[in-house]
Amino acid sequence: MTTAYISHNDCALHDMGPEHPESPSRLAAIINQIQGTELEQMLEFVRAEEIQRVQLQRVHPEMYLRQLDLISPERGRVMADPDTIIMPHTLRAARLAAGAVSQGVDMVLSNQVTNAFCAVRPPGHHAERSKTMGFCFYNNIAVAACQALTFHHLERVAIVDFDVHQGNGTIDIFNDDPRVMVCSSFQHPYYPFSHYHNLGENIVNVPLDAHTDGKTYRHRIERDWLPQLETFKPQLILISAGFDGHRLDPMAEMNLEDEDYGWITERIVEIAEKHCNGRVVSSLEGGYHLEALARSVEAHLKALAGMKP
């Protein structure tokens, strides 16, 4: 089993300001956590490449892409929405983030690696077809799913989103698309307060109360996600890997621990091994307490690499 770690230093150039939680320090915390460990020796480190415009156009209308180009400043910072700030290096970082996840799909589906983790930012799962939201510009995971469906001609792709905030953008893009099953677990009611009712049969929402602990979380995943994924029989599983459900994270009120992220990753890998030769591509979404983020990603990576906790 080979696990690729796909990233790029320029993802850290996107900086929304010293007080913004989605900071460049997130990627530094992750790499510092795994440096000098056995895990580091097992990973295949890959330099991310920028996404192509045509790949973005499979998900986002050209008018939306042009709007982002137009508001991108030569210096300073501009509010793209109340939570999301664009600055001179933002779109370069966003193109690398989206490119990394599609690159992971290409590597996994061509059997270069078994699975992949994309340590990238800005995140993507809140970005709707024509709307920035929640620190997101391009929907990285949706772009990667379309790469699998369009370029690689897959018929069934599952997207598993365990960020503490619902992946509203991914649901907006794939609602009622039978080729894509979207499983999203999230604190409810909570941001983004949308895409909860009147959804297609391909959307599996798992709303969770504030202060949900690991035991309850695991029960809900086993009851609500795993049977649906077994029935769907995905040819590829993509993960929107948000670690902000950790009990230490300041952005929500869930009580998950590092090992819960290892556990859910193990369950995803088991389904992938059963139905799609272990093909999994994971992309970083949320996670804002730096120590908890780094430890949780380490647990996630160990499960992807087949290491014991």
In angstroms, the CA 134 to CA 191 distance is: 9
Residue type, 127: A
Q: Indicate the pairing of strand 203-208 with strand 180-187.
A: parallel
98 and 167 in contact (C-beta within 8 Å)? no
Active site residue 126: yes
Q: Which two tokens stand for residue 164?
A: 């503490």
Residues forming a β-bridge with 85: 79
The CB-based long-range contact list for 78-81 (8 Å cut-off, 24+ gap) reads 80/132, 80/137, 81/131, 81/132, 81/133
Catalytic residue among 8, 126, 246, 289: 126
Taking alpha carbons only, the member of 160, 198, 152 closest to residue 180 is: 160
> 189 preceded by cis ω (within 30°)?
yes
Which positions are annotated as active-site residues? 126
